[in-house]
Structure 1
Amino acid sequence: MEEIKNIRFGCLVKKGRAEVHEMPLAEVKDNQVLVKQLECNICTADYTQWLGLREHNGYPVSGGHEASGIVIKKGRDVVDLEVGDFVAIANNYCGSCEFCRSGRESECKVRASYDEHGIYKGRMGFADYFIRPVTSVIKMNNDLTPGEAAFLEPVATVVKGINKLRLKPFEKVVVIGAGTMGMINAMTVRAYGGEVIVSEMMENKLETAKKAGFTTVDPTKDDAVKKVMEFTDNKGADCVIVAVGNTNANIQAAKMLKKMDGRLLVFAANYPPPQIGITANDIHYRRMEIIGTYLADLKEFLEASKLLNIHKIDVKPLIEKNKYYLDDINEAFKEASSPGKYRVSVLLHKD
């Protein structure tokens, strides 16, 4: 293997500006792997900071956490991965704090420290090479494209929410929003045996949902609550997943739920924060559950890898046709932040 002395990576240096920087490559430790990263998808958190809407992390940000690549070197304590294995990025965690030992790795006490690289902060998904703890990568099937495998993290976050919903086969579920995360929610609910109707206002996203085989409703043209009632034999949905950060969507979701014991999953965030829009009395008298979800733990990453590896969900329609090389990362952010876009992939090598 050719010696790699420096890594090149994309980073945000200010609102609306992404650049490519370099830093020396460290030594691979006993419990680490060196990954030649192939593609990284730009997620909502990435491009909203590029837009200046999530600047609380400061700059420079070496972000990107939806990435995949090939193991090209491993430490001597790595036993379940080999050089040449195709992997995707999962969460960092220490494995020894009280949260990690109880299966709550997303709350790891030192998790944030893994994202500190000198003056840079972030997951380094937009790096051409990066050294990662063996615990933070998961093996993927070679028949997936790098862009598809890079969906491991967003699929894991969806699995976390679906598990919190305690979804049962044949339950009627509404997904509000047919963007990337809305579509993954709809696909995962279907994979777990639920019946899905997708509500979406944008024509191209409605078309994506239809092509994927989902019943759809356009609330700009039809009474979405009435359509849901028709879909559920006038009983209302067992669950509604709100995959857009919008107060009106939250209000509408409560109206779509069945009269008693409905579950509402608040999947999406936004800035400024949307409101739930319902009262405590609504929750009380209807025995309604309002469920929040965020991040994922190791068990969800493993479950997500199975969904992708055995093709129980198909994320190909959620990848934009235009791909950008690392040197053009600023242009990639421009496209990713355009209304109606799905995931835009950054190619980290030209070979």
Structure 2
Amino acid sequence: MIPNKIKFAYLAEKGNAKVTEMPMPELLDDEILVKQDACNICTTDYQQWQGLREHQGYPMAGGHEGAGTIVAKGSKVGATFEVGDCVSVIYDYCGYCDECKHGEVTGCENIKQFGKNYSDEFYGIFGFANYFIRKAKSFVKMSPDLAPSEAAFVEPLSSVIQNMKKLRIKSGTDTVVVIGGGTMGLLNAETARAFGARVIVSELMEKKIEIAESMGFEVVNPKKEDPVQRVKELTNGKGADIVIVAVGLTIANNQALEMVKPKDGKISMYAAGYPAPEMDVDPNKVHYMRLELIGTYGSTLEDFYDAAQMLNTGRVDVSKLVETHIPLDDIQKAFETASTPGNYRVSVTLD
């Protein structure tokens, strides 16, 4: 039976997360109704709760790392999706603007990522909702063997996969250093290894070091050794082929410039920081080193499907990147936990 209301969480203002209800909208021919099982709290979400991303707007019915089960579908939804299928959410998109024509669905010109696309009152994607209706094209099918909180990694993994494609990793030869062992740092590390790279993680928090080592990565601890010198020792003096900056800090940006090899190296500026970090870049150095500074943000439709495939087949294992599970009614506690330094993904359960 389809419920007549949706229960969801939203940010009313900085530091204030609330739970409310709204009427269940009508299910249209090209839409799917999903009972959402879990939605993980992304950095984007908790930084707005902290007041660092006020530009995203309030009230924000956020959450975009979600997964659940199909309970109903419209009459024009084909056999790709059936009631009972496990699915993960991807961003909704129009399909006909210039961005969408190139597969850049997160840059859709008509359906903004955090706009008022599902409500006249609330911004956001309503990830922290127990049910929600979206276009069928805005889902990917997931393995029922994956826990919902792991299936919910499709969105963050898709952005990491775009990063890997831009970096053009040479399987079996490239050494990749990831600065930062948080959720997105280790997701980059795990994916780079799946692409065939040797991976070294630079991290100074003991908890994150333990997780990185338990996942099988070589770890450099800047509290105990010079990370630049250690990376050079581990690469026989050459330096890293690729450095991924997965923390938004000035010191990390400048370390990347020193860690990367002196010719034809690549640095990925994966993380954003608030306030914005700096980077001491000498244009002549970039010129003579033939250095690539690579920016990456968002995902293509292909990236989302690749992410689902890598999770479903176990090529990328995210089981150690979930910190804890907290029910929807305790959403304020969930944001407090997610924003605690050193913690990994907090998964909001939506039963």
Q: Above 0.5 in TM-score? A: yes
Q: What does residue 82 of structure 1 align with?
A: 82
**Any residues of structure 2 matched to 1:45-84 within 5 Å, and which?**
45-79=44-78, 80-84=80-84
After superposition, the C-alpha distances for 1:145-204 in whole angstroms (9 at most, x for unaligned) are 000000110000100111011111120110000000000000000001000000001110
1:340 aligns with 2:345: no
SS of the counterpart of 1:84? Answer: coil
Q: Does 1:16 align with 2:6?
A: no
Where does residue 39 of structure 1 map in the other structure? Answer: 38
Write the distance in 1 (CA, Å) between the matches of 2:116 and 2:165: 27
Question: Do the aligned partners of residues 310 and 5 (structure 1) sit closer, same or farther apart at CA in structure 2, a change above 3 Å counting?
Answer: same
| TM-aligned CA deviation for residue 88 of structure 1 | 0.5
| Conserved 8 A contact 1:88-1:150 | yes
Aligned match for 2:329, one of 288, 303, 327? 327
Query: 2:197 matched to which residue of 1?
Result: 194
Show the counterpart of 1:159. 161
Secondary structure (helix, strand or coil) at the match of 1:339 reads: coil
Unaligned runs of 5+ in 2: none
Judge conservation of contact 2:116–2:122 (CA < 8 Å) in 1. no
1:211 to 211, 214, 220: 214
Q: Is the 8 A contact 1:65 1:89 kept in 2?
A: yes
Report the 3-state secondary structure (helix = DSSP H, G, I; strand = E; otherwise coil) of the residue aligned with 1:324. Answer: strand
Letter in 2 for 1:9: F
Cα offset, 1:106, TM superposition:
2.0
Q: Return the offset for 1:219.
A: 0.7
Amino acid at match of 2:341: P
**In 1, Cα distance between equivalents of 2:213 and 2:221:** 11
5 Å-filtered alignment, 1:286-305, equals 286-305=289-308
Query: SS where residue 147 of structure 1 aligns?
Result: helix
| Aligned position for 2:149 | 147
- Is the contact made by 1:60 and 1:119 (CA closer than 8 Å) also made in structure 2? yes
CA contact (8 A) 2:338 2:346 kept: yes
For 1:238 and 1:54, locate their aligned partners in 2 and report how far apart those are by CA, in whole Å: 33
Q: Structure 1 residues 163-172 or 274-283, which shifts more?
A: 274-283
More displaced 10-residue stretch of structure 1: 178-187 or 114-123: 114-123
CA distance in 1, matches of 2:281, 2:148: 42
For residue 78 of structure 1, report the CA deviation from its aligned partner.
1.1
8 Å contact from structure 2 (residues 245, 253) kept in 1: yes
The residue type paired with residue 300 of structure 1 is D
Which of the numbers 123, 131, 134 marks the counterpart of 2:133? 131
Please give the alpha-carbon distance, in whole angstroms, between the structure 2 residues aligned to 1:122 and 1:240: 33
Distance, in Å, in 2 between the alignment partners of 1:33 and 1:3 is: 12
Cα deviation, 1:250-273, whole Å, max 9, x if unaligned, reads: 000010011011100000001110
Q: Secondary structure at the match of 1:245?
A: coil
User: What fraction of aligned residue pairs are identical, expressed as a percent?
Assistant: 49
- The aligned residue for residue 276 of structure 1 is 279
Distance 1:44 1:261 in 2: 32
Give the Å deviation of 1:114: 6.4
Shift of 1:228: 0.8
What residue in structure 2 maps to residue 99 of structure 1?
Answer: 99
Residue of structure 2 aligned with 1:306, choices 297, 309, 315? 309
RMSD: 1.0
User: Given the alignment, which residue of 253, 258, 273 partners 2:256?
Assistant: 253
Q: In 2, are the aligned partners of 1:92 and 1:114 still within 8 Å (CA)?
A: no
Q: Does 1:266 align with 2:269?
A: yes
Secondary structure in 2 matching 1:135: helix
Q: Provide the C-alpha distance between the structure 2 equivalents of 1:311 and 1:174, rounded to a whole number of angstroms.
A: 23
Match of 2:230 among 221, 227, 231: 227
> How far did 1:115 drift?
3.2
For residue 77 of structure 1, report the CA deviation from its aligned partner.
1.5
